[in-house]
Amino acid sequence: MLHLRIISPFRLTGQVVEVLDRTPGVTNVVFLAKAARRPEGDVVLADVAREAADTVIGRLKALGLERDGSITAEDIELSISRGAAEAEERAPGEGDDAVVWDQFEQRVALDSRITWAFLAFLAIATQIAAIGVLIPSQILIVGAMVLGPEFGAVAAVSFGLLRRRWRLVGAAARTLTLGFAAAIAVTLACALVSRGLGWISPDSLRHHDEVRFIVTPDRWSFIVALLAGAAGVLSITAGKSSALVGVFISVTTVPAAGYMALALALGRWDEVGGSALQLLVNIAGMVVAGTLTLLLQRALWSRYGGGRARRGIPEA
């Protein structure tokens, strides 16, 4: 379930409470008159089943609360309440199938911003991947995959394409481009220093057959990227963040970037192209699958879940 905290202007409080009272899946409604100071208004608290949350938030936004008040939602880790259990039973659909679109949009928008933390994680992951290629070590390569933070930006591109939010698509694409460019540049600089010190040479990549898959993209690379993109979006929409680890391990974006930096430093030009293609294939596959998954979720929920929930809500 989700916990909602609503700050409502005095003139809208009656409509807010009516929406909550008449919506299946809402319970534990609390009204605190004149409790809000900035913005000024009443405070209304409620617990909402996840499968009803998007509908409730949509109706509250239609009242103008995002402009004149505030709507805050947070996940409830534990709820010991017969009323909460009954509310979940009354709400149409299943919680894992529901998408809280505002929550999803906010998460991917935050994850797609260019920050020092994003650049640092991606650069460190790329360097670890490069070392894993050199040794070679599958453990280091897998660790680099898990450390890479790029999926949030990929999901933002998918969401932007679905909703035609071109500004979000542009921002996320820019984050991916600049992020990988910076990570490759840092790793390239480190590799050039290592070559100057005599630690590595063009022969360092010659006999590492166990990492050749990174520079030999094929149809399986694209299929895996499709599956990983679908699983990643589902893990975010269903609130199953632990499943993202499997997504990170499935795709070779970060290892491809690390391999590319090494190939540039060692003059292995044919492998530069292979690793660059692998990177593009994986990102493209995840974007395509993520967009289609979101489109399917929206269609199915509108037909079998959310549509029935909306019919239980009064018009504002």
Q: Report the predicted TM-score, pTM, of the whole model to 2 decimal places.
A: 0.82
Over range 37-58, report the average pLDDT. 91
135-146, pLDDT tens digit by residue? 888 889 989 998
Does residue 118 fall inside a structural domain? yes
At 236, the pLDDT band (50, 70, 90 cuts) reads confident
Statement to judge: residues 63 and 192 lie in one domain: no
50 vs 259, which has greater pLDDT? 259
Statement to judge: residues 45 and 142 lie in one domain: no
Domain boundary among 26, 59, 91: 91
Statement to judge: residues 78 and 110 lie in one domain: no
Statement to judge: residues 108 and 238 lie in one domain: yes
Supply the pLDDT for residue 315. Answer: 40
Does residue 315 fall inside a structural domain? no
Give the C-alpha separation, 86 to 91, whole Å.
9
Domain boundary among 91, 124, 148: 91
Statement to judge: residues 115 and 63 lie in one domain: no
Statement to judge: residues 16 and 163 lie in one domain: no
Statement to judge: residues 80 and 109 lie in one domain: no
CA angle 299, 55, 45 (to 5 degrees): 155
93-131, pLDDT tens digit by residue? 666 667 888 888 888 888 888 999 999 999 999 999 999
Longest Cα–Cα distance in the chain: 75
| Total number of domains in the chain | 2
Statement to judge: residues 129 and 184 lie in one domain: yes
Over range 17-44, report the average pLDDT. 92
Question: Reduced to 3 states, what is the DSSP secondary structure of residue 148?
Answer: coil
Give the C-alpha separation, 256 to 260, whole Å.
6
Supply the pLDDT for residue 101. Answer: 87
Overall size of the chain counted in residues: 316
Statement to judge: residues 198 and 266 lie in one domain: yes
Statement to judge: residues 183 and 116 lie in one domain: yes
Supply the pLDDT for residue 5. Answer: 95
Domain boundary among 91, 122, 151: 91
Domain of residue 71 covers 2-91
Of the candidate ranges 37-46, 74-83, 205-214, 215-224, the one whose mean pLDDT is the lowest: 205-214
Does residue 312 fall inside a structural domain? no
Could you tell me which residues come within 8 angstroms of residue 133 by beta carbon, excluding any fewer than 6 positions away? 141, 205, 208, 211, 214, 255, 258, 259, 262
Give the C-alpha separation, 157 to 177, whole Å.
12
Does residue 309 fall inside a structural domain? no
Q: Supply the DSSP string of 109-143, one letter for each residue.
A: HHHTS--HHHHHHHHHHHHHHHHHHHTT-HHHHHH
Statement to judge: residues 164 and 32 lie in one domain: no
Question: Reduced to 3 states, what is the DSSP secondary structure of residue 49?
Answer: coil
Does residue 98 fall inside a structural domain? no
* 136 residue type, one letter: P
Does residue 313 fall inside a structural domain? no
Statement to judge: residues 86 and 178 lie in one domain: no
Question: Are 108 and 161 contacting, i.e. CB atoms less than 8 angstroms apart?
Answer: no
At 84, the pLDDT band (50, 70, 90 cuts) reads confident
